[in-house]
């Protein structure tokens, strides 16, 4: 069979050649046989046969060409017809995004006009053209048009000689599948953040029932959410929950926080929870990492709240319970030892605080610089240009030769940085509020000491983060630490007064967040020579400042025990807003107040509270931070009126949700 097929193929190739060859041989034979007439006749027959064969082949080729062209037309018509009548929208666009052609489904987006010539972005708003033209399906985009959700991707039209590239854009309707997200699993980590403190202040006979009530409430909560729950420590639980139940809890403002706080077994303190939720990740492992980060944030902000981390977005709920002071100094001792070892391993130490430093920031810097020098290391404090809030104390230090060369500018700090430089960040952990972010990024070895509630915008890469929200001030924390760093801290009177002034300022004269450890620290500083009269002088207002504060208070708008005041125009001292806010709280009938001041186009807002309203979460919404009772924010390129509108919106939002 193989030989037969081979011969047939060869004959097909040879056959067109055999006939002409035979005619030619026959004609030559006749001429040799002296029969020219027969040879001529045979030649004419050959020519006639060849012409007929040629005409026949030409006609056949024309017929074939016509059929091919007709087939092409039919195919194109069918393709156009099929694409035009596809059940999902399709369009052809130019590189600029201009619509070149569209099918019937696409034209339903704007039935009143022909979309040709329009830019596709005007129809599919939010579409990223450059990402679309990459023609990578992994880079598809989800776009909502009218009431439907589409996955949009494109492919380039190849094989045509065109002046401009054309792309087919496909719109795949996934509206019927959008509820699938509700079946995704989120990870919830629950920690009873103050169980040890609550049990310590509860009668021993009531402790088992208290623990049982807490466990019963958390397990009942898990059942309501139809969640898998596992207890992995004495006060810690992990839950796997469907996303749709998380959405329901967001609407309910996480009622579990209130339920737990209402447990009463003779305990002196309310039981509180810190909950971290991770959602939106590509896998359970990623959601668990999100939940861990969220719970750390909730704990770092004082507990009694829920933090939800959805990729880069973080939301907080709750946070209205005052922090419980931890009486043990174990962590302070451990941290102080670690700081001492890091100082010994460093070539030099730089101390930096936040923008527009106050006495808590500056006083804690002075205290640390003293102990660093006692450890035999070079130390400098970085100061910016705005030092109006610390001007009085800074002047006293500069008049003392012992503090020559202690303070350096930002530019000088850059010159002193090397691989072994240690940077200590005090009274701030929010990267956007640090005096100079570039220095933080450049230094590899960093320590954070702060008492503010944790912010999502925390400085990353710190070797040691000592953030305790229960502490009254950073100065209190530093006072404790330096007592363990050296056996006998040799503080000068000025250094002790700087630390005491920091505590005095943040506690408002020992009236806010002043616990046992606060007075212990103040006692140590007093024993080190701090003069309370000198500390008081640092916060005394001159007549001009007092009149400005009075004018600011006059502008106060009071509604439901909440006051909003605006400082006079032309004022260049940002700390005056804080002074005015403090004075407003001394007025009967005002439990919460906000003071706004505009300086060089930026608006500074200081918030104060003595009630249950958390000013920190209100100003955090605007990009600020602080504590439940004291917070602030600076809005760049914002007028007073614009800032007031944003403030009122945030107040309304958080009062509405009970924060």
| Residues 509-562 pLDDT 10s | 888 778 888 999 999 999 999 999 999 888 877 788 788 888 888 889 888 888
Nearest one of 517, 519, 483, 522 to 499, comparing CA atoms: 522
- Which of 50, 82, 114 is at the close of a domain? 82
- 341 located within any domain: no
Least confident of 32-36, 116-120, 153-157, 456-460: 32-36
Q: What is the pLDDT of residues 24-72, one digit of tens each?
A: 666 666 566 656 666 666 667 666 666 666 666 656 556 655 655 654 4
Which CATH number does the domain housing residue 576 bear?
3.10.310.30
Q: Domain range for residue 163?
A: 89-179
DSSP line for 523-579:
HHHHHTT--HHHHHHTTPPPHHHHHHHHHHHHT-EEETTEEEEEPPTT---THHHHH
Judge whether 252 lies within some domain: yes
Indicate whether 468 and 392 sit together in one domain: yes
Query: Is there a single domain that holds both residue 558 and residue 499?
Result: no
Residue 331 in domain: no
68 compared with 255, residue with greater pLDDT: 255
- State residue 348's pLDDT score: 94
Q: Is 451 annotated as a binding residue?
A: yes
Q: Tell me the per-residue pLDDT of 621-649, one tens digit each, with 9 for 90 and over.
A: 888 877 778 888 888 888 889 889 999 98
Residue pair 428/452 in contact by the 8 Å Cβ criterion: yes
Give the list of residues 6+ apart from residue 273 with CB closer than 8 angstroms, or none: 190, 191, 192, 193, 256, 257, 260, 303, 304
| pLDDT reported for residue 519 | 92
Q: How many percent of the chain have pLDDT more than 90?
A: 26
| Residue 582 known to bind ligand | no
142/199 same-domain check: no
* Separation CA 564–CA 545 (nearest Å): 19
302 in a domain, yes or no?
yes
- 441 labelled ligand-binding: no
Name the band, by pLDDT with cuts 50, 70 and 90, for residue 75.
very low
366 and 471 share one domain? yes
My answer on whether 639 and 555 are in the same domain is: yes
Q: What is the DSSP letter of 161?
A: -
CATH number at residue 357: 3.90.1640.10
Instruction: Single out the residue in 537, 565, 585 at which a domain terminates.
Output: 537
Domain-embedded: residue 96: yes
Give pLDDT, residue 327.
54
Confidence (pTM): 0.59
Give CA–CA dist 650/635, Å, rounded.
Answer: 14
Tokens, residue 266: 């003779």
Do residues 493 and 462 make contact, with C-beta atoms less than 8 angstroms apart? no
* 324 lies in some domain: no
- Residue 427 in marked binding region: yes
pLDDT per residue over 375-399, tens digit each?
Answer: 999 999 999 888 888 888 999 999 9
> Which of the listed residues 41, 67, 82 is the one where a domain comes to its end?
82
Q: Environment class of residue 470 by beta-carbon count within 10 Å: exposed (0-12), middle (13-18) or buried (19+)?
A: middle
Tell me the CB-side half-sphere exposure of residue 74, using CA atoms within 13 A.
6
Q: For the chain, what is the domain count?
A: 5
The answer on 209 and 170 residing in a single domain is no
The answer on 593 and 489 residing in a single domain is: no
The verdict on whether residue 233 carries a ligand-binding annotation is: no
> Are residues 511 and 469 part of one domain?
yes
Q: What is the mean pLDDT of residues 501-505?
A: 92
91: Cβ contacts below 8 Å, ≥ 6 apart = 99, 100, 101, 102, 103, 106, 115, 120, 168, 169, 171
Assess whether 507 and 362 both reside in one domain. Answer: yes
Q: How far apart are CA 111 and CA 106, in angstroms?
A: 9
- Pair 563, 427 in one domain: no
Q: Is 360 annotated as a binding residue?
A: yes
Q: Is the pLDDT of residue 274 over 50?
A: yes
Residue 15: its H or E element = helix 2-32
Same domain as 594, residue 485: no
Q: Is 332 within the bounds of a domain?
A: no
Least confident of 30-39, 141-150, 450-459: 30-39
pLDDT(566) > 70: yes
Provide, rounded to the nearest whole percent, the portion of the chain with pLDDT above 70: 82
- Residue 268: which CATH number? 3.30.70.270
Going by pLDDT thresholds of 50, 70 and 90, the confidence category of residue 659 is very low
Residues 5-16, mean pLDDT to the nearest whole number: 58
List, in order, residues 6 or more apart from 437 with CB less than 8 Å away. Answer: 431
| 326 is a domain residue | no
Pure H helices in 33-94: 36-84
**Mean pLDDT, the chain, as a whole number?**
82
Whole-number pLDDT of residue 474: 94
Are residues 558 and 528 both part of a single domain?
A: no
């Amino acid at each position: 069979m193989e030989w037969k097929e081979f011969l047939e193929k060869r004959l097909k190739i040879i056959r067109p050649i055999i006939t002409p060859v035979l005619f030619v041989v026959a004609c030559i034979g006749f001429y040799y046989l002296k029969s020219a007439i027969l040879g001529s006749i045979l030649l004419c027959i050959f020519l006639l046969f060849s012409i007929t064969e040629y005409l026949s082949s030409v006609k056949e080729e024309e017929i074939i060409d016509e059929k091919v062209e007709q087939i092409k037309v039919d195919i194109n018509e069918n393709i156009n017809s099929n694409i035009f009548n596809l059940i999902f929208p399709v369009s052809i666009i130019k590189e600029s995004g201009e619509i070149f052609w569209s099918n019937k489904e696409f034209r339903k987006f704007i039935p009143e006009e022909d979309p040709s010539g329009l830019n596709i972005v005007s129809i599919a708003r939010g579409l990223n053209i450059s990402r679309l033209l990459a023609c990578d399906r992994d880079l598809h985009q989800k776009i909502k048009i009218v009431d439907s959700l589409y996955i949009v991707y494109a492919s380039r039209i190849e094989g045509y000689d065109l002046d401009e590239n054309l792309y087919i854009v496909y719109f795949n309707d996934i509206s019927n599948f959008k509820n699938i997200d509700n079946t995704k699993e989120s990870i919830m980590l629950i920690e009873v953040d103050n169980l040890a403190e609550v049990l310590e202040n509860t009668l021993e006979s009531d402790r088992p029932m208290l623990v049982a009530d807490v466990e019963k409430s958390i397990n009942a909560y898990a059942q309501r959410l139809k969640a898998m729950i596992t207890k992995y420590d004495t006060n810690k639980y992990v839950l796997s929950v469907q996303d749709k139940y998380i959405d329901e809890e967001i609407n309910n403002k996480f009622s579990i926080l209130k339920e737990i706080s209402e447990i009463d077994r003779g305990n002196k303190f309310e039981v509180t929870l810190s909950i971290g939720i991770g959602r939106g990740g590509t896998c359970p492992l990623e959601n668990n990492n999100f939940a861990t980060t969220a719970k750390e944030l909730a704990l770092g902000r004082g507990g009694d709240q829920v933090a939800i981390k959805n990729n880069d977005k973080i939301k907080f709920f709750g946070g209205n319970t005052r922090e419980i002071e931890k009486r043990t100094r174990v962590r302070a001792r451990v941290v102080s030892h670690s700081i001492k070892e890091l100082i010994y391993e460093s070539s030099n130490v730089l101390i930096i605080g936040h923008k527009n430093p106050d006495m808590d920031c500056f006083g804690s810097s002075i205290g640390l610089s003293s102990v660093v020098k006692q450890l035999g290391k070079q130390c400098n404090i970085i100061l910016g240009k705005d030092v109006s809030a610390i001007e009085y104390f800074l002047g006293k230090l500069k008049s003392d030769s012992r503090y020559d060369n202690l303070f350096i500018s930002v530019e000088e700090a850059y010159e002193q940085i090397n691989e072994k430089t240690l940077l200590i960040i005090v009274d701030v952990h929010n990267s956007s509020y640090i005096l100079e972010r570039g220095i933080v990024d450049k230094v590899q070895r960093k320590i954070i000491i702060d008492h503010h509630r944790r912010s999502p915008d925390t400085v990353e890469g710190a070797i040691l983060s000592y953030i305790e929200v229960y502490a009254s001030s950073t100065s209190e924390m530093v006072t404790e630490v330096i007592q363990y760093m050296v056996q006998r801290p040799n503080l000068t009177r000025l250094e002790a007064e700087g630390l005491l002034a920091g505590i005095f300022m943040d506690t408002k004269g020992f009236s806010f967040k002043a616990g046992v450890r606060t007075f212990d620290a103040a006692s140590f500083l007093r024993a080190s020579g701090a003069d309370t009269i000198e500390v008081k002088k640092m916060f005394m207002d001159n007549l001009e400042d007092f009149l400005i504060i009075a004018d600011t208070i006059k502008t106060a708008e009071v509604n439901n025990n909440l006051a909003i005041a605006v400082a006079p125009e032309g004022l260049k001292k940002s700390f005056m807003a804080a002074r005015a806010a403090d004075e407003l709280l001394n007025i009967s009938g005002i439990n919460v107040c906000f003071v706004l001041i505009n300086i060089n186009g930026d608006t500074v807002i200081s918030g104060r509270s003595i009630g249950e309203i958390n000013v920190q979460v209100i100003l955090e919404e605007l990009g600020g931070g602080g504590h439940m009772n004291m917070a602030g924010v600076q809005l760049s390129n914002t007028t007073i009126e614009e800032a007031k509108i944003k403030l009122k919106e945030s107040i309304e939002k958080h009062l509405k949700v009970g924060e």
